[in-house]
Homo-oligomer: A and B are copies of this chain.
């Protein structure tokens, strides 16, 4: 059950960095939707419930900069901009979905652990008025 010895090398810096990028509030959601095919800005805005215009722009710019997303502008009035995953973006989707699958499969175990922990901390004196 115990996994084989894991030597933490300087390469872990890269891991931490990717995790931070991917672990923000909207990145995974946007990338997942884009995994279905190209989408326009406002289409994405409507689909990703709750995202603000600013955060969508920010998220897309980061993804574009890191090479995960391709931004294509079709000139005209009004302007039309389309976003789609690059090959790198599609590649990223694989391990991300691995973690997604784990999260969905183990959601309840984590919730149970929390309930148990919280219950152990507050035996019964939950009045705790202070």
How far does the Cβ of A33 sit from chain B's closest Cβ, in whole Å? 6
Task: Identify which of residues 14-36 in chain A touch chain B, using a CB-to-CB cut-off of 8 Å.
Answer: 14-20, 22-25, 28-29, 32-33, 35-36
Task: Establish whether residues A28 and B32, one from each chain, have CB atoms under 8 Å apart when the complex forms.
Answer: no
- Is A80 located at the chain interface by the 8 A CB criterion? no
Which residues of chain B are near A93, meaning CB under 8 Å?
3, 6
Query: How far apart are the CA atoms of A98 and B97 in the complex, in Å?
Result: 10
Task: Establish whether residues A2 and B114, one from each chain, have CB atoms under 8 Å apart when the complex forms.
Answer: no
Which residues of chain B are near A66, meaning CB under 8 Å?
110, 113-114, 117
Integer count of this chain's copies in the complex: 2
Which residues of chain B are near A95, meaning CB under 8 Å?
95, 98-99, 101-102
Query: How far apart are the CA atoms of A44 and B96 in the complex, in Å?
Result: 28
How far does the Cβ of A122 sit from chain B's closest Cβ, in whole Å? 13
Chain A 100-130 per-residue mask, 1 if CB under 8 angstroms from chain B, else 0: 1111101101101110111000000000000
Could you say which of B6, B22, B101, B109 contacts A36, with CB atoms under 8 Å apart?
Answer: B6
Instruction: Supply 4 further A-B pairs (C-beta < 8 A) apart from A6-B93, A92-B102, A94-B102.
Output: A2-B35, A18-B103, A88-B109, A99-B99
